């Protein structure tokens, strides 16, 4: 079985939400709490989608990915200062580009690779990128802390 259609549909739906959000971004940013702004959240999404693209490439090439399941909190904290340097528009452009790239990578997976990713329990992390996007787009739209 290739990537489940429900995952592909959700990835596409959340990409459309991200596109709509980035189209209305202005030069101002908004604090969402805990040191996170809309720009930081968008840069965070870009990083994790780009990471997924690279891991999916490893899966396609090697039949697995050398992923030590890093501590997400430590990575987020380590990258926070860099993410804050981006304007909200720059972060939005990065997030949109990364989301398009990961959606395309997930859609291009063959059944064998998609099945293997799901079998090791990485389907939600690597294939269902829309779930992560939804979580943060809901936070941005609701103005709540990350």
Q: Which one has a higher pLDDT value, 143 or 42?
A: 42
Between CA 19 and CA 139 the distance in angstroms is: 16
The average pLDDT across 111-135 equals 93
pLDDT score of 130 more than 80 = yes
Nearest-10 Cα torsion for 111, 113, 114, 118 = 130
CATH homologous superfamily for the domain 5-142: dinb family like domain (1.20.120.450)
**pLDDT per residue over 95-112, tens digit each?**
999 999 999 999 999 999
């Amino acid at each position: 079985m290739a990537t489940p259609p429900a995952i592909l549909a959700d990835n596409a739906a959340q990409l459309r939400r991200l596109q709509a959000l980035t189209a209305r971004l202005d030069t101002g940013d908004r604090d969402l709490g805990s040191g996170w702004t809309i720009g930081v959240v968008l840069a965070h999404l870009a990083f994790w989608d780009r990471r997924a693209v690279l891991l999916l490439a490893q899966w396609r090439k090697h039949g697995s990915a050398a992923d030590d399941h890093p501590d997400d909190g430590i990575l987020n904290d380590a990258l926070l200062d860099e993410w804050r340097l981006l304007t909200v528009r720059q972060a939005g452009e990065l997030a949109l580009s990364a989301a398009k790239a990961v959606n395309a990578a997930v859609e291009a997976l063959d059944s064998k690779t998609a099945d293997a990713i799901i079998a090791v329990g990485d389907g939600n992390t690597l294939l269902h990128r829309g779930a992560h996007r939804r979580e943060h787009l809901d936070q941005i739209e609701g103005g709540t802390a990350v």
